[in-house]
Amino acid sequence: MKIDPILLNKYNTGVPRYTSYPTVPFWKDGIDIEHWKEVFNNQFHKNNIDSGISLYLHLPFCESLCTYCGCNKKITTNHNVESEYLNVIQKEWIIYRQIMHEPPIIRELHLGGGTPTFFSPKNLIRLMNSIFENSVIHPKHEFSIEGHPNNTTKKHIETLYNLGFRRISYGVQDNDPEVQRIINRIQPLENVIRATHDARAVGFKSVNYDLIYGLPKQTPASIEKTIRQIIELRPDRIAFYSYAHVPWTSRGQRLFDENDLPTPEQKMALYLIGKELLMNAGYTDIGMDHFALPNDDLYKAWQDGTLHRNFMGYTTQNTSLLLGLGVSSISDAGIAFAQNKKNLHEYYEEINKGELAVTRGYFLNDEDVAFRKYILDISCRNTTVFNPKDLPVLKELTFPELEKLKEDGLVEWDEKEINVTPTGRHFIRNICRAFDLHLLRNQQMDERPLFSKAI
Ligand SMILES: C[S@@+](CC[C@H](N)C(=O)[O-])C[C@H]1O[C@@H](n2cnc3c(N)ncnc32)[C@H](O)[C@@H]1O
Ligand code: SF4
């Protein structure tokens, strides 16, 4: 499938990725922590017994800087930092445990980063034991971790398996030596093969690879080679991310020459080459750059319409409470978001005082909840049905946008529902934007460099 270059240029504007709605730039600084605790506590007691809760633990350290990286990380080769970090994150967990009053039922747990495998297996055991102490582990729990192929050892894999982890995601990004040189991530394919083999041998049931298209110096030939090598290894899932160029927040991205980046047309061509190879190899495009094999649970959730999306990306679990621990982590209590301090020392300082380190966040009103559902439906199912009570706002703000998207062949819609067309699936972020009332009411936000480009 070829995408019209005119459409590509027209829609290649800065648009959010919609891992939350409202999106982070619309959250408020200095949220009311007492109110957050109250909302958290209510959501916890409403959901703990029925569905259990999700936990996200952010482990921020990496040994070297990948220049493209947009994540919150701290670069150091000093492993003494592990111990202090664990002390603080354990204290944070204790503060939340006091708010909960009863043992949490842990259904979903994800270790993200940074590089969680920067931590020694011994320290990962220490961390998990402190989380599991006096908690209940749900019989259908899903524990997952992001591993760096260069430093995930067999010992890490065995330890994680024994702790109940069955899913691992490796950052592969690109196999080409020239691309790897320029992004400062030298990662021989042997390391990916070894780390994948180790995970499978011990019994992990799902291996995901993160790949990125649109990196400097990538060419159609180099991406084809990378994808062909990846297909040979048959990861169960692949996140084929669009490179997000946000040099105003990720300073490392200023270290390479912008002239080495592909144009929007070249970038889309790289994506389409990868997508075609993956589809021919039996992968299904389940939405927003994510692919899965039919044996994977994410594929099954996509098929039966139960796919869900949160800060951890696409997930099969739909718990209504996601608690984020660690520096910069985000919690999602369904009707409120709260983010921890992004600066490591400020995070330490608050927690060491016995306070939560929450600093930014947002309490959703009824309208936000309704439009959040539309955005989630479109990202996970490519369709949504309108609630008649939202029609006045939809008519005023969303429908004029949908009409423009329809003229370009991206959606079919009427006053009852909207369906994304096959071409529209390449522009999901732009379609979600038609439901982003905050952005539509503050069009001047569109002019500021806040979000990465849609393509
Ligand atoms: C925290 S990292 C993964 C774990 C580990 N640190 C690693 O690099 O192997 C999460 C993923 O975000 C993706 N990522 C980071 N920066 C990105 C950017 N600027 N644009 C698109 N994807 C990005 C990468 O694919 C990366 O694997
Ligand atoms: S991509 Fe992963 S290893 Fe590289 S800097 Fe970002 S978080 Fe660290």
Per-residue pLDDT, 359: 94
Cβ-in-10-Å burial (0-12, 13-18, 19+) of 448 comes to exposed
Per-residue pLDDT, 35: 96
**Residue 317 vs residue 181, higher pLDDT:** 181
Per-residue pLDDT, 455: 65
Per-residue pLDDT, 75: 97
Task: List, for residues 387-442, the tens digit of each pLDDT value.
Answer: 999 999 999 999 999 999 999 999 999 999 999 999 998 899 999 999 999 999 98
**Residue 245 vs residue 444, higher pLDDT:** 245
Residues having CB within 6 Å of any atom of ligand 2:
62, 65-66, 69, 71, 73, 113-115, 148, 171
Mean pLDDT of 279-307: 90
Task: List, for residues 231-252, the tens digit of each pLDDT value.
Answer: 999 999 999 999 988 888 888 8
Ligand nearest to the Cα of 63, by number: 2
pLDDT band of residue 450 (cuts 50, 70, 90) is low
Task: List, for residues 15-63, the tens digit of each pLDDT value.
Answer: 888 889 999 999 999 899 999 999 999 999 998 888 899 999 999 999 9
Mean pLDDT of 154-180: 97
244 CB within 6 A, ligand 1: yes
Task: List, for residues 322-344, the tens digit of each pLDDT value.
Answer: 999 999 999 999 899 999 999 99
42 CA → ligand 1 middle, Å: 34
Ligand nearest to the Cα of 210, by number: 1
Nearest residue CA, atom 2 of ligand 2?
A: 114
Mean pLDDT of 185-202: 97
62 CA → ligand 2 middle, Å: 6
102 CA → ligand 1 middle, Å: 35
Does the pLDDT of residue 446 top 60, yes or no?
no
Per-residue pLDDT, 258: 85
